[in-house]
Chains A and B, each alone.
Chain A
Amino acid sequence: MVERAEDEEKWLAAGIAGLQQNAFYMHRALDSNNLRDALKYSAQMLSELRTSRLSPHKYYELYMRAFDELRKLEMFFKEEARRGCSIIDLYELVQHAGNILPRLYLLCTVGSVYIKSKEAPAKDVLKDLVEMCRGIQHPVRGLFLRSYLSQVSRDKLPDIGSEYEGDADTVVDAVEFLLQNFTEMNKLWVRMQHQGPAREKEKREKERSELRDLVGKNLHVLGQLEGVDLDMYKETVLPRVLEQVVNCKDEIAQFYLMDCIIQVFPDEYHLQTLETLLGACPQLQPSVDIKTVLSQLMERLSNYAASSAEVLPEFLQVEAFSKLSNAIWKVIEAQVDMPIFGAVTLYSSLLTFTLHVHPDRLDYVDQVLGACVTKLSSAGKLEDSKSTKQIVALLSAPLEKYNDIVTVLKLSNYPRVMEYLDNRTNKVMAIVIIQSIMKNKTCIATAEKVEALFELIKGLIKDLDGDLHDELDDEDFKEEQNSVARLIQMLYSDDPDEMLQIICAVRKHFLTGGPQRLPYTIPPLVFSSLKLIRKLQGQDENVVGEEASASPKKIFQLLNQTIEALSVVPASELALRLYLQCAEAANDCDLEPVAYEFFTQAYILYEEEIADSKAQVTALHLIVGTLQRMHVFGVENRDTLTHKATGYSAKLLKKPDQCRAVYACSHLFWVDDQDSIRDGERVLLCLKRALRIANAAQQMANVTRGSSGSATLFVEILNKYLYFFEKGNPQITIAAIQSLIELITTEIQSDTMSQDPAADAFFASTLRYIQFQKQKGGALAEKYESIKV
């Protein structure tokens, strides 16, 4: 290969040298007006182009040099003609050259002067030139020669408005000339493919692609002719070009030329000839990358549609959508081997087109998706990443266009397309959908739509078949589920009945999610339900029919069942919190039995499921905190619950925990704004019990560690004493407080006490508080007066 390249350099250098030498003699002949020598040396110079040894790339270099020299010769011919030399004679004279290639280059050069002289109709000269060029059947040489012809004739075509237009010369002749040159060039170009050894196929294809613009140039010129109006394009140009494209049966050519047609001619022409253009597509070779071609076309048409609203009626008039959609169907039908990726790309482009041109026609969009589903159904789940990417693009397009998931939810085929995505991508798509909703703050207000939405994002909601958990990153999973959780707030209706429906729908889907998801999905659902309850509660309850529609009771039942679902996870701590939350809501609704039931559930969980001591402490504090605020309970129920809670407190494992739980329980007997719950005695009992436990803790520490623990617990209890003291609990006496302060003081000063600056500070600030209250004056100050510090 390297050797070849080196050789090629040598050949090129030799070619250039030969060319320059003859060009030198030619210049001399030109300077001395020696026509005979000029022709002789120019022919010799052009003979260098007869080489077969150069690749197209190198040949081009040589050609360009010859091209420059020929410009000088052309000038000379013009001069000669001006001096009175008959241009017709000149036209004959150059044809005496024995070698065909130089002869034809010279002929084209003189021909261009001939046209310019207007001594003969341009069309006759053009026709003769394009016909004579048939003599070069060698692909590369022929392509360059014809490209030369096209180059020199370009400004001399009898186009409308051109100076070469006349009675005998019309744009029809120009078009005819260009079409013929194009056809011949394409034939040569295609022929390259079949020449030379098979093993050099790749190299040949590369060389061919280097030459393609020479062929396309003709179309380019055609596209620029003023005289090619829609009628002529429709009747002559397009059919002839397509005929050549189809008949050449060459993959590279067909692809390039189709693309060329699309790029070169105006959009409105495409629109008006859509049927013809598209009709050619199924006739192309099966290996042609037709999807790119059609995508390009649709992209152009989309842009055209977007360019101005005035052109939109044209689209409707020619039924662009149905034609495109038909064509795609036919192409897919015809190209059996087209990968799924290709088909999806096509549909994706069509969809983009539809969204641009017919944004109001959701049925079209759905139709495209439906067609896509049909195609996908023959292939099963998608494995390759390219098609998957395309599907994501396909599905994202309507989202981006409408910025509104509600519109998308109307597309019945949308979820069906999603089904063909692999699970991972399906999730990605679902997240895209959710993000779209969040970004646009789209509110999904009916249960029906919610159903549709969940159908779309079901990849996130539940395990799909064959989903492999182990490959799922934990972090990603969290991220996914969090977005699902965030979604819930967007599912909202002002109508309570509808809202209930939504909740039911969501619940139904969430419950299928399996133990991994429930901890993420249940809480937002619960809170969403509670929100509804609060709303109902705000309304006049009599207005709402008890049985038929949403009532708090009904929702609570639902909630109960919902939270119960967490038991399979298990996520007892979470469930416990939710139960308590619900209990509180029930409390607000004055539904005692419901609240009691929730508490019962919470207690059961505490007893049966929460074994970890730390968790127990937390749970217990939550229970106590919630219970304290409950006002709905009758004495009996409250007693039961309080009793239980106190009992749990005493059974905690660690003494300090026990102590803290017990003094916390004291609050259960004293609710400030409820006269019925002000049982000072039992408060004191709790506090005393706490003190006992604190003492025991101290002693235990002495025994096990040789030093008593911190005095923190005592200080905390002191604070509780002070609290109830202030609240006016008659059982809390100054004496009790006084003795507690002394006890703490002794404890802190004792040698065995381990140093605990935090406890010291706590105690000090407590004392400061007492002092402060004393000095503040008022009723409290009087109470505090007798406490000595």
Chain B
Amino acid sequence: MNFLVGAFKPPCNISISLADGRTRKQVPLKKENGQTVKVPLFQSQENIVGEVVIEPTQGKKVEHTGVKIELLGQIEMYFDRGNFYDFSSLVRELDVPGELYETKTYPFEFSTVEMPYESYSGINVRLRYILKVTVGRNFVSNIVEYQDFVVHNYTPPPSINNSIKMEVGIEDCLHIEFEYSKSKYHLKDVIIGKIYFLVVRIKMKNMELEIRRRESTGSGPNTYVETETLAKFELMDGAPVRGESIPIRLFLSPYELTPTYHNINNKFSVKYFLNLVLVDDEDRRYFKQQEITVYRLLETS
């Protein structure tokens, strides 16, 4: 379990453990300091059960004004550093004010916790879930311990999943018709499609399919939009002629996608786009961007 190691020696060690810690699936989580740690994975409506162990250091006496555990869902905007919005906050009092002389264990349970949003770590925003144990003290700062965990929420396959089909072009120069078999993809899905060249008067060099993520944070005049290209997948090499059709088959699994997020707590959105880019001989780029919806499908394995 994790210990928060302070600059000075804390008077006690706090550890949080989960009842199903051994069997629960763990997923990697990137921390602020760049290190990746494995943390437990939950989904909404799950019970979070476990215990907190407080162990005073070398028989020291710890006076406290109460012990509590909180389950927090926070949205953190990087440009607004230090501002956490707790969209979810549950508290369990574990102990009344008193003194601790020896190691004490407090079981806790949060039943069918509503966790509507998924954990997310983007460029400007982070959504995270933590268990926070606080040992309250008078006159000195409280002793606090955190345990991160990750929430993934699964969506059933969409009932309607139309293909994306479109004809685009520059008059008398380039006319293409492209088709992606679906508009909604799960994270391990594969994009199947084809590009059909109707008019080609430009000498092409190659064609790529990009997967772009657009993260918008804030609202109104303070909206920040960040776009990053997660995948560059070459579809075609060389110059096609009229009538050629080029197949698309792009597996999504190698890329670190998240589901599409719409206006999470009025704070941020994450959208995905397929960007078809044609590059000509003189490195001019012609592109057409299409939004796709990404969802998380419960893996059955």
Contacts and interface: CB of A to CB of B under 8 A. Distances in A.
Contacts of A195: 203, 239
Interface stretch (B16-24, B141-149, B240-248): B240-248
Q: Which of B203, B231, B232, B249 has the most CB of A within 10 A?
A: B249
A141 B234 contact: no
Interface stretch (A129-137, A412-420, A724-732): A129-137
A100 interface: yes
B224 interface: no
Nearest to B233: A98
B249 A138 contact: no
A100 B251 contact: no
A141 B249 contact: no
A101 B237 contact: yes
B34 interface: no
B237 A135 contact: yes
A569 to B, nearest CB: 76
Interface in A132-161: 132, 134-139, 141-142
Contact of B239 (A100, A132, A134, A138): A138
Contact of A137 (B231, B232, B244, B249): B244
A224 interface: no
Interface residues of B, number: 22
Contacts of B232: 98
Contact of B234 (A92, A98, A139, A191): A98
Contacts of A138: 237-239
Interface string B227-270: 00001111111111100111101010110000000000000000
A134 B237 contact: no
A137 B247 contact: no
A95 interface: yes
Interface in A103-136: 103, 131-132, 134-136
Interface residues of A, number: 22
A191 B236 CA distance: 16
Secondary structure type dominating chain B contacts: strand
A83 interface: no
A99 interface: yes
A381 interface: no
B179 to A, nearest CB: 15
A98 B207 CA distance: 12
A50 interface: yes
A132 B237 contact: no
Interface in B13-33: none
Contacts of B244: 134, 137
Residue in A99, A100, A142 whose Cβ sees the most chain B Cβ within 10 Å = A100
A120 B253 CA distance: 23
A317 B127 CA distance: 85
A439 to B, nearest CB: 61
A96 interface: yes
Given A92-B251, A95-B251, A137-B240, A100 B245 contact: no
A101 B233 CA distance: 11
Nearest to B241: A191
A142 B238 contact: yes
Contact of A134 (B206, B233, B245, B251): B245
A104 to B, nearest CB: 9
A137 B234 contact: no
In the A-B complex, the 10 residue pairs with the smallest Cβ-Cβ separation, listed nearest first, are A138-B238, A137-B238, A100-B234, A137-B240, A96-B254, A99-B234, A136-B237, A135-B236, A100-B237, A138-B237
25 contacts: A50-B237, A92-B251, A95-B249, A98-B231, A99-B234, A100-B206, A101-B237, A131-B247, A132-B247, A134-B245, A135-B234, A135-B247, A136-B237, A137-B204, A137-B237, A137-B240, A137-B241, A137-B244, A137-B246, A138-B237, A138-B238, A138-B239, A139-B238, A141-B238, A191-B241
Interface of B: 203-204, 206, 231-241, 244-247, 249, 251, 253-254
Given A96-B251, A99-B234, 20 more contacts: A50-B237, A96-B253, A98-B234, A100-B206, A100-B237, A132-B247, A134-B244, A134-B245, A134-B246, A135-B234, A135-B236, A136-B237, A136-B238, A137-B236, A137-B238, A137-B239, A138-B238, A141-B237, A142-B237, A187-B241
